[in-house]
Amino acid sequence: MAEEITNTEGSKDNKQGKNAFTELMTPRPKRAASSPIEPKPSRLKPFKNRNGLDAYIEAPESFSQSTVISHSDDFVIINDLYPKSAIHLLLLPRDPTKFFQHPFDAFEDAEFLKSVRAEASKVRKQAASELRRKFGRFSALDQARSEALDADPAPDELPGGRDWEKEIMCGIHAHPSMNHLHVHIISVDRCGACIRHRKHYNSFSTPFFVSIDDFPLAEDDERRHPDREGYLKSDLKCWRCERNFGNKFTQLKAHLEEEFEDWKRI
């Protein structure tokens, strides 16, 4: 019986002080923790947290021109990382006394509001020019202008063509998704690939989206209470024809694609 329970190899290990069970249960020494590495602004992942816009504000020069369109001491203009329309830009004020304020509060400052409006007006013109570049060839209203551009000799004055600035919205969300103050400058089509659910759409298609021109808001303005008003949970309605899709987001998306094609051709 003694031979049946004796492990010959184990006996050898015991003589050498290497019992396998003992080795398995012995705590191994912990490795020293590596020192944390502070990421450079260009290595940060914007929009992955509520402070994601900070990287652009602090070091806009570290990003490519396809991301940061322009910057000055006062503002940074970027392409939205998750565009909700054909054109979707963000205007970021760099004033540290303002950029953590809710826009409802920040825009109570008349001088600050004036400066943001002036910058937004410039960016709106840039966005309108980009819309014309992308879609002007489809637009009936731009045909005369296109023909004039191709004429030889060219006319002394180009026809005005379509007013693409009217196709640009400038405003903020009543409940901003990011901590840093930002203004959306976005084309009206709402056909961006990153509109994926009702809240995305309604955040730009209901009073949840507050135009920069409406500030400062009155104290009793209902848009100060977006949750109470239920804007994000309201029925899905086409921004163009106002057809009501209820909660049928997939049907709305298909409809928006059709509207987009018609809208381009105005």
CA 266 from centre of chain: 27
What is the reported pLDDT for 27? Answer: 52
What is the reported pLDDT for 160? Answer: 82
Q: Do 208 and 214 touch, CB atoms closer than 8 A?
A: no
Strand 75-79 relative to strand 68-71: parallel, antiparallel, unpaired? antiparallel
Q: What are the catalytic residues?
A: 182
Termini Cα distance of the chain: 97
Domain ranges of the chain: 49-264
**pLDDT profile of the chain (266 residues), mean per 10:** 39 47 48 38 53 96 96 98 97 97 98 98 98 95 85 82 96 97 98 96 98 97 97 98 98 98 97
Q: Do 79 and 66 touch, CB atoms closer than 8 A?
A: yes
CB burial of residue 83 (10 Å; 0-12, 13-18, 19+): middle
The dihedrals phi and psi of 170, each to the nearest 5 degrees, come to: -130, 120
CATH topology of domain 49-264: HIT family, subunit A (3.30.428)
The Cα–Cα gap between 101 and 203 comes to 20
Structure tokens given for 45: 């992942």
The Cα–Cα gap between 263 and 256 comes to 10
Integer angstrom CA distances of residue 213 from 87, 118, 137, 190: 20, 11, 30, 20
Q: Which residues contact 240 (CB under 8 A, 6 or more apart)?
A: 188, 259, 263
What is the reported pLDDT for 92? Answer: 98
